Structure 1
Amino acid sequence: MEKQGNRNYVYKITIVAAVGGLLFGYDTAVVAGAIGFIRLRFDLSPAMMGWIASCALVGCVTGALFAGYLSDRFGRKKILILSAILFAVSSAGTAMPQDLSWFVVFRIIGGLGIGIASMISPMYITECAPAAIRGRLVSINQFGIVTGILLIYFVNAGIAGLHDEAWNIHTGWRWMFGSGIVPAVIFFGLLLFVPESPRWLIQADRTTEAEQILTKINGVIKAKAELKEIKAAIHTETGTFSELFKPGLRTALVIGVILSIFSQVTGINAIMYYAPEIFKSTGDGSGSALIQTILVGVVNLLFTIVAIKYVDRAGRKGLLMAGSAGMAICLAIVGTAFYLDAVRGYLVLMAILAYIAFFALSLGPLTFVVIAEIFPNRVRGRAMSICLFFLWSAVYFVAQFFPMLLKSVGSAYTFWMFMVTSVIAFLFIWKFLPETKGKSLEDIEKSWQPR
């Protein structure tokens, strides 16, 4: 029996779970490099372009909605394995079809995997993490997401550079989607070597297994205390949807849902999905636009590392407020540049990179940190499913309507709309979001109980 917790063990299982985040980022961002070629290959209208970019999100919404129930019934680990299988099937399928109908079907299958991983990976990490470093560990999942985004940006640029544009329009985009098989298989293999969530094991009356894992994570003394605390918390919970709408937890649910929506309607996926097209609109060719898109991925990665370092020191609320305020300023600059037709040069690029930096410091990683830690154990899966249902619905809304907004109201007013939502997000976080750094999951649960 270990007297002290094994931090290396905690980081190992966190990194494996974060590969689910990597697949999430890889599969959602692959469309950024491919959408321009698909548009030319199939002569897409703005509405169809939005549908092709966002069709996977139908699967994301569905996957997130049912992931909580499935993970509560079968365990976090098994459902993560299911997500890896769905990723692999989707990657193979989207590389092969000759018509858009089958392409859409396989993208929706991939979306199911994304929706599942987006919920289960941070929840699994939360349920394994010691309270003192929980924010950092859950943020590693976001590091996985942005690593996946950056990786596929490089892969897309590499594939696009193999041959001329005609080859990319006919074949290159297929290779971009098919490349996802490799990380999906790696994720599947790594999951075979990690344990089940100790909190789920206790819920499933497998206490001995749970205690062994908690001992590895926290050491003997803390493990026994935490085991007792978890059992007491589970004993007082009903674990039903109706519990989420009772006083106290109802507030937590509203905060989780609204924060999830704000993380997307502030414009991040409009930029991530359409970055090359945005940069082309400033006068750059497709090659230069893809390189600038890689810069977006690099900045996203670097500032996510900053968030990982400071989230357990600065706290969730301060970083979220700073990030949303900075995003609003950057979006105001981008919108104004388009309004004044001053988009050539580096102004728009620098403002978008700064926007990405502020997002990566705040709403990017910390939305998942907050919604993974504010709910009690037995309803965490169901509650996160609701939050992520709204998150992915918001992603779908933005991805579907962004091309149409650009066409109907123009770039300036579109980015100003995102600026306004960023300001509202700042006000919401300042007024309603509690600080949770350093608290155990059970202490956070007690804070919602009516006084």
Structure 2
Amino acid sequence: MATAKISQKSVYLITIVASLGGLLFGYDTAVISGAVGALENYFITSLQDDAVLSASTIFQFKVIISLCILAVGILFASFILKFFKRTKAYAIIAGILILGGAIYYFQFLSLPDVMTENLQNSILGFMISSALVGCIIGASMGDKAANSIGRRNGLILAAILFLISACGSAYPEPMNIFQANTLTSFIIYRIIGGIGVGLASMLAPLYIAEMAPANIRGKLVSFNQFAIVTGMLVVYFVNYFIVSGQTEDWINLTGWRYMFLSEGIPAVLFFLFLLVVPKTPRFQTMKGNEEDAVKVLTKLNGPEKASQILQEIKASFSKTRAHWLTFGWGIIVIGILLSVFQQFVGINVVLYYAPEIFKGMGMETDASMLQTIIVGAINMLFTVLAIFTVDNFGRKKLMLIGSAVMAVSMIGLGVVLYLQSEGIFALLWMLLYIAAFAMSWGPVTWVLLSEIFPNKIKGVMAVAVAVQWLANLLVSWTFPMMNNNEALVETFNHGFSYWIYGIMAVLSGLFIWKFVPETKGKTLEEMELLWGPKDKL
């Protein structure tokens, strides 16, 4: 009995440590929200009065976008090679390269180095969302990191990247080692932090899942999602206390630096705590360290179960993986569209730009930050409710209700903005939207992605996750282009983009209703029978 209590206590402590990766994930994702206006003033506005700096910035922007596209392109080329035979895959890659390269050159690279309104908004959007490029890269490296340096050491690497990003983003001038201007230095440090986020997003739940006993694994893995929304709420409080009572000039010059630098505190704590937790038994066994694996298993599960679990781990290595198209294209497309719609409904626009949205409604800086805390609290509360209801209520029903409420909320918010009757109504529409997302598409998408892919092709989940980060990048990048466009503002008064997200919410509901099966109560083996093996395409 005492051993069980000790082992359970150890499991919970280890889970809390690993979940700090999720907290930093949420912290890094949301820290940008309080700094958007200051970053625009500090980095973008200054370009309007300096033609030389403007031309240099545009050139470097083109270079960094090209490098990011190259990195993401290599990742997706590797996915194509796993879907098709080499000859066909090379033909597809070559076709995309030629067509995409031509469009990219004539529509972007060949444009003169002149700062237009759209280009200025594009630079701002990419600066705000640049960490997501790192997230795509980090998530794609997660599997290799897990199997080479291990789950725990991979998280230690993520903590180091978080810390570097915190310092470099806060002070891109003195830490500019890239022979580039300050804006480019800031973007690079944000991408470095994004790589840490991408690693943590995969390795933290994997570490917890491999350390937790089977009977409480689901509950413990859900701690990671809870930690993510907790990190978001914490940083909203931090941002509020940093700007509270300060002048706009101080915030634009100094305040935003403290926001990014504050990320260093949880990053250092995460790093230090990881040094005292063990490597997972699965990784130890994989590397031939069975003795160390047994010690960890004995501590966490008791001596009577340790040997049995070790044999199960060793047996799992003998299972062969199937071709990604074993179950046909249907399951692949459904997984990808789940990820795409989760982002296209506009959630990260609200999370990244909430203070600026509230300021656009006429609120002062302090008030807008306070409203953001309310957004974070609603997000956290309804995420917890989803965790406790998804197994009873069903995945499909929650997703359908969520889509309907999000559609009404976004269209309603767009109407309020269009009619210029902002205030309490705009806030209520936004909070209703956040609650609907947090109860449905936020956590339930991850549940569905973990359930719909049979174990034989579990690796294809990496495609869905990479596409999710890419969709997040596209939505976050394009929001300033729509929201700050003079013609659209004159016609729709900031309501246009929210109507687009409302339409996406409608389409997401139709997609769930028509194509996504209910997975509640089905074993993974039953899901495998549902799809059935298909001929490779």
Task: Choose which of 331, 344, 348 in structure 1 pairs with 2:410.
Answer: 331
How many Å apart are 1:272 and its aligned residue?
A: 0.6
What is the CA distance between 1:189 and its match in structure 2?
1.7
CA contact (8 A) 1:203 1:378 kept: no
Match of 2:463 in 1: 386
2:126 aligned with 1:51, yes or no?
yes
Whichever of the two has the greater Rg, that structure is: 2
Residue identity (%): 46
- 2:12 is matched with 11
Partner of 2:172: 97
Find 2:434's aligned residue among 356, 373, 397: 356
| 1:309 aligned residue | 388
1:355, distance to aligned residue in structure 2 (A): 1.0
Alpha-carbon distance change, 17 to 314 in structure 1, aligned in 2, over 3 angstroms? farther
SS of alignment partner, residue 495 of structure 2:
helix
Aligned counterpart in structure 2 of residue 66 of structure 1, from 133, 137, 141: 141
Q: Which amino acid aligns with 1:425?
A: S
User: Match for 2:433: what amino acid?
Assistant: Y
Paired residue secondary structure (1:245): coil
Shift of 1:148: 1.0
How far does residue 216 in structure 1 lie from its aligned partner after superposition? Answer: 5.4
Rounded Cα–Cα distance in structure 2 between residues aligned with 1:127 and 1:376: 19
Are 2:213 and 1:107 equivalent residues in the alignment? no
Assess if the C-alpha contact under 8 Å between 2:44 and 2:124 holds in 1: no
Deviates more, 1:275-284 or 1:177-186: 275-284
Please say if 1:156 is aligned against 2:239. yes
State the TM-score, normalized to the length of structure 2.
0.75
Change (3 A) 1:430 1:140: farther
CA separation in 2, counterparts of 1:439 and 1:76?
A: 29
**For residues 435 and 354 of structure 1, do their structure 2 counterparts lie closer, same or farther at Cα, with a shift above 3 Å needed?**
same
Q: Which amino acid counterpart does residue 473 of structure 2 have in structure 1?
A: Y
Cα shift at 1:54? 1.0
Partners of 1:215 and 1:440 lie apart in 2 by 28
1:271 aligns with 2:350: yes
Shift of 1:194: 3.0
CA contact (8 A) 1:336 1:412 kept: yes
Question: Aligned equivalents of 1:17 and 1:95: distance in 2?
Answer: 26
Contact 1:262 1:422 in 2 (8 A): yes
Residue 103 of structure 1 and its aligned partner are, at CA, apart by 0.9
- Between stretches 98-107 and 314-323, larger displacement belongs to 314-323
CA distance in 2, matches of 1:419, 1:217: 47
Higher relative contact order (CA 8 A, sep 6+): 1
| Separation in structure 1 between the aligned mates of residue 356 and residue 166 of structure 2, nearest angstrom | 23
Superposed, 1:8-407 pairs within 5 Å as: 8-44=9-45, 45-98=120-173, 99-129=182-212, 133-161=216-244, 163-204=246-287, 206=289, 209-210=292-293, 213=296, 231-238=314-321, 243-248=322-327, 251-343=330-422, 345-372=423-450, 374-375=452-453, 380=458, 382-407=459-484
Q: Which AA in structure 2 matches 1:66?
A: M
Flag the 1:419–1:217 CA change in 2: closer, same or farther, 3 A.
Answer: farther
Cα 1:188–1:143, aligned 2, differ >3 Å: closer, same or farther? same
Distance in 2 (alpha carbons) for counterparts of 1:260 and 1:315: 19
CA–CA separation in structure 2 for the residues paired with 1:77 and 1:249: 35
Matched to 1:259, the amino acid is: L
Residues in 1 aligned to 2:515 and 2:301: alpha-carbon distance in whole angstroms: 32
What CA distance in whole angstroms lies between the structure 2 residues aligned with 1:129 and 1:224?
Answer: 16
- From the superposition, tell whether residues 308 and 230 of structure 1 become closer, same or farther in structure 2 (CA, over 3 Å): same
* SS, match of residue 399 in structure 1: helix
Name the aligned partner's letter for residue 335 of structure 1: G
* 1-structure distance, mates of 2:518, 2:441: 15
Is residue 414–residue 496 contact of structure 2 (8 Å, CA) maintained in 1?
yes
Give, in angstroms, the shift of residue 324 of structure 1. 2.5
- Aligned residues of 1:142 and 1:364 also touching (Cα < 8 A): no
Task: Give the TM-score normalised by structure 1.
Answer: 0.88
In 2: Cα distance, 1:229 partner to 1:448 partner: 26
The answer to whether the 8 Å contact 2:406/2:437 transfers is: yes
Give, in angstroms, the shift of residue 246 of structure 1.
2.7
Q: CA deviation at 1:375?
A: 4.8
Is 1:137–1:308's contact at 8 Å kept on the other side of the alignment? no
Which amino acid in structure 2 is aligned with residue 392 of structure 1? W
Give the counterpart letter for 2:397 in structure 1.
Answer: G
Quote how far apart the aligned CAs of 1:204 are. Answer: 4.6
Bigger shift: 415-424 or 438-447?
Answer: 438-447
- Alignment of 1:421 with 2:504, yes or no, is yes
* CA RMSD in angstroms, aligned pairs only: 3.0
AA aligned opposite 1:361:
M
Asked if 1 retains the 8 angstrom alpha-carbon contact of 2:233 and 2:380, the reply is yes
Aligned residues: 445
Task: Output the amino acid matched with 1:390.
Answer: V
Residue 78 of structure 1 and its aligned partner are, at CA, apart by 1.6
Q: CA distance change for structure 1 residues 197 and 315 in 2, over 3 Å: closer, same or farther?
A: farther
Distance change >3 Å, CA 298–CA 438, structure 1 → 2? same
- Conserved? CA contact 2:324–2:460, under 8 Å: no
1:91 aligned partner, one-letter code:
A
d(CA) in 2 for partners of 1:427 and 1:205?
A: 49
Q: Determine helix, strand or coil for the equivalent of 1:235.
A: coil
Provide closer, same or farther for how the CA distance between residues 378 and 433 of structure 1 changes in structure 2, counting only shifts above 3 A.
Answer: same
Measured after TM superposition, the shift of residue 155 of structure 1 is 0.9
Instruction: Check whether the contact 1:70–1:79 (CA below 8 A) recurs between aligned residues.
Output: yes
Query: Is the Cα–Cα contact under 8 Å of residues 63 and 113 in structure 1 kept in the other structure?
Result: yes
Write the distance in 2 (CA, Å) between the matches of 1:440 and 1:199: 23
- CA 1:407–1:172: 2 relative to 1, 3 Å: closer
Moved more, 175-184 or 98-107: 98-107
